[in-house]
Structure 1
Amino acid sequence: MANLFKSEIASVTPEWTGGHPAHVKAFFTERTGGISSGPWGGPDGIMGMNVARHTGDFAMCVEQNRRMLAQCLPAEPKWLTQVHGIKVLRADAAAGEPEADASYTTTPGVVCAVMTADCLPVLFADRRGRIVGAAHAGWPGLAAGVLQETVRAMRKTLLDAGEAEPELAVWFGPRIGEEAFEVGEDVLDAMKTHLPEAQKAFRPAEAPGKYFADLGELARQALEQVGVPREAVSDCGLSTYADPKRFWSYRRDGARSGRHAALIWIEPEAH
């Protein structure tokens, strides 16, 4: 856990497989360090760092939480209105909070951000620090191909600029663990549409037609489809569902669960 510049904001910092990408900074907020209370608070019902406007939290609390978070960053994050789709935006040009589930940037100081409670946050970084990105990978987005689209967009951007193809490092943040993510046949069938080996990420539950799904394994399969090897992926292995002291969980806490932020940027000083 890193404390960044404000000791009260708890966070998880990526440990990148193969070493830290050049000039890249990233972290994932935990549930404490803000001013939200009640279901959007910390484990004691106070000091919550909820960054989502759509969960019923007081608007002034969310805005203050976002302002406090921005003090730890080179700029305001490029927030998205997430819809469990596959749209990927170039964060530099994003205005307001456009509908998308992933963004990327080549511009130092621009902060890509996604919000999650149980969904898988995925951060991407070129080893040379030329491009970074963030994706919100819930099961509908994973099934539809949001991770593949993010990798394709990042590669195309560098190639179109006359640059060499990126060597990507990828980090999986906290999300619902396999032991708690019980789903039906519809989820398995949706995954099989684009991931031929999807069955390997599902194990039968006690109830007929029910399975426990491993979002991390499904994400690895998706990335392999676009040439990102498993050895390029680092996984924090933390479950939002299993650790209520540190994380919110939509499945555990319900619709009024708070949301975490996964953030990544290229350090301005490096350029």
Structure 2
Amino acid sequence: MKALHYIRSVIFIVQMYLAMLVVGVICLPWAVVSRDGAYAAVRGYSRYVRWSLRVICGLRTEVRGEVPTGEIVIASKHQSFLDIIMITSVVDRPKLIMKNSLRYMPVLGWYGLRIGCVPVRRGHRAEAIHAMMNAVHDGNAPSGQLIIFPQGTRVAPGAKLPYKVGALVIYEETGQYCVPVAANVGLFWPRQGLLRRPGLAVIEFLPPIPPGLSRPEFRSTLERVIETRSNELMREGGFGADELSGHHRGA
């Protein structure tokens, strides 16, 4: 049975990247003349990935909570590429802080820059954040939902990494509401490896955190609500309390 899951996973991955190329090429003329075309391509592709994941691998996806709109910061638990796919499939104008290396990837890199994603060089995160804030204040960055990952990288289920300063800086500089996002997607689509396990992957938009909190208060609130709800979602997905505590001790 596991061998069959691997075969299906490989088929899914191959067609996923082929679909990225097809969608990217088809939507390119529209995306060049209008950012709306780029947003439509990203949203349409993300929805296709969710559909094909269910059909090929038996992995269903569910988005819970109220999907945010307008100028807002989204601070998400990041366990794999799937949480990005699920968020961009439902928000209307997403933009992310992304690894600088991704800007050179065919299709993905160009579309990322077109929708306003901010490339970040490893070790230069603060510099990139301030550059992005300058672009926002100058009116050069597109409006929309800024998606950040407070821990700065993909985190395996149960592992514990600190929440970094970048999310705090963005929260302070923008003065916007921040919507936390919890997830259990790493149980089914791991941060590394080919296997896509069947089940129900969930992300959940949580109640927004209002602007104006102090740095310590914002950080503790953000970490508490994301980690608490993510742990609940992981237990719902079959990840036991002993596994969570074991990963925390070993992180």
Say which structure is richer in helix. 2
| Greater fraction strand | 1
TM-score computed with the length of structure 2 as normaliser: 0.32
* TM-score normalized with structure 1 length: 0.31
